Homo-oligomer: A and B are copies of this chain.
Amino acid sequence: MDIATIIGIIFGFTVIVGAILVGGGGKMFFHIPSLAITMGGMLCATLIHFSLPQFLSIFSIIKKTIVVKIPSQIELIQKMVNYAAINRRDGALALEQEISKVDDLFLVKALQMLVDGQDPEEIRELMFLEIQYLQERHSNGKKILEFMGASAPAFGMIGTLIGLIQMLRNLDSPESIGSGMAVALLTTFYGAFAANLIFIPLAGKLGVYSKSEMTAREMITEGICAVARGDNPTAVREKMHAFVSQGSRKEVKVTI
């Protein structure tokens, strides 16, 4: 549960809607045809840009920005130090029973290769291949949200152009100019609002998540390779510490 995303969206809506209500004329800001141009145009452009399965994954992508859980780096260091201790004391085969305690499929695969007695370089190569293609898959979601963030203001502007052209037809009735132009500007407002409060920040959040997950996987790779080389727990800890800031380098001890 990512509390920051939820707070940000709720407060953001509150601030903007509040400002509209304070200024008056709130009803004016809700206009279905304007919403249809901006959001409809943006969704169609997204559909043309991406493949159907990618487009349909938008909701699961947005969901991911709210519910994803990042593994703790300290816990990862602790695990690696323990594996090193077990490996030195009882040999790699003793790690087999650790596999069942692990949820993360990536770590399971790494441990399995360790137990199978594969070469550290071979493990690293396969793990890096896996990390590399995961990164590509991850970047897809980010690209969709970024494209939506770029497309929404563009269709907002297209809507405003349509509104302006229609308004300019009957300049002779000065009273209709104001409301016509107000409606024309609505689509630009919708586009800017959706892009800057929703799509662009959510794309950023996906990037932040993706990076943490990548770092966690690089830590697992480095750790498992160090264990496979037979490093002692202290050496493994030293190597893992490069990944975390000096402030959070707590003394990790073997707990098994």
The chain A residues found within 8 Å of chain B, CB to CB, are: 2-5, 7-9, 11-12, 15-16, 18-20, 22-25, 28-29, 33, 36-37, 40-41, 43-52, 54-55, 70, 105, 126, 129-130, 132-134, 136-137, 147, 151, 154-155, 157-159, 161-166, 168-172, 174-175, 177-179, 181-182, 185-186, 188-189, 192-193, 195-198, 200-202, 204-205, 208, 211, 215, 238-239, 242-246
Contact = CB atoms under 8 A, between A and B. Distances in A.
A196 B41 contact: yes
A134 B244 CA distance: 8
Contact of A11 (B22, B47, B158, B200): B47
A40 B14 CA distance: 10
A55 B7 CA distance: 12
B9 A44 contact: yes
Q: How many copies altogether?
A: 5
Contacts of A50: 4, 204-205, 208
A120 to B, nearest CB: 14
A162 B48 contact: no
A162 B23 contact: yes
Contacts of A37: 15-16, 19
A155 B196 contact: yes
A197 B47 CA distance: 10
B171 A48 contact: no
Contacts of A28: 165-166, 169
A71 to B, nearest CB: 13
